[in-house]
Amino acid sequence: MSMLSGKAGHDLFVYGSLQESEVVKVLLNRVPDSVSAVLSGLFRLKGRVYPTILPDGTGEVTGKVLKGITDDELKMLDEFEDVEYDRNAVQVALTDTSEKLQVQTYVWKNKHDPDLYGEWDFEEWKRHDKEGFVTATKKFLEDRKLPEAKTRMDTFRTFFKQDSENGKPLDSC
């Protein structure tokens, strides 16, 4: 827990789509205070519109530390990140000050995943996938209210598969 935002809460390093304020606002109904930070190890996932990290010291990923995340918000983000990720403690360096900060982040569970490759580009994602991702995130929130709620993975697969059937590619990464 941290007092960075002036109130007790969790500090969470986010990367990929969760750097986008519009996605965070859909999930949390607010955009928490944040500060830029760096962590090692970012990978693309073949066939996915989101990246993952495996902190390994060989590369750097730029992201944000969301400050003052409540327990309920953390539960929502855990549900959104689904079974593919573990939430782990990591150390990041704040971009402005180089200060080291102990935070939590979502780390890919399958360290030997054959679909891990290359780098993921946030600006490219914003140009090509942001709109569909925000729409799929809204659909995930709507669907989770249903008795037969889908996981985020299933919602996104269905959403992006439907797009591919309408002539749009499944993934532009």
Beta-carbon count within 10 A of 143 CB: 17
Q: Does any domain span residue 170?
A: no
Q: Does any domain span residue 2?
A: no
Q: Does any domain span residue 3?
A: no
Q: Does any domain span residue 77?
A: yes
| Domain ranges, residue 151 | 10-165
Q: Each residue of 112-122: pLDDT tens digit?
A: 877 777 677 78
Q: Does any domain span residue 111?
A: yes
Catalytic, 142? Answer no
Q: What is the DSSP code string of 86-115?
A: EEEEEEEEETTT--EEEEEEEEES-TT-TT
Q: Does any domain span residue 5?
A: no
Q: Does any domain span residue 172?
A: no
**pLDDT score of 163 more than 90:** no
Looking at per-residue confidence, does 170 or 133 come out higher?
A: 133
Question: pTM of this prediction?
Answer: 0.73
Looking at per-residue confidence, does 4 or 97 come out higher?
A: 97
Per-residue confidence band for 102, with pLDDT thresholds at 50, 70 and 90: very high
What CATH number is attached to the domain comprising 83? 3.10.490.10
**Number of domains forming the structure of the chain:** 1
Looking at per-residue confidence, does 48 or 80 come out higher?
A: 80
> Looking at residue 169, what is its pLDDT?
40
Strand ranges inside 5-152, DSSP E: 10-14, 34-39, 42-45, 52-53, 61-69, 85-94, 100-108, 116-117
- Catalytic choice (20, 73, 81, 84): 81
Q: Does any domain span residue 173?
A: no
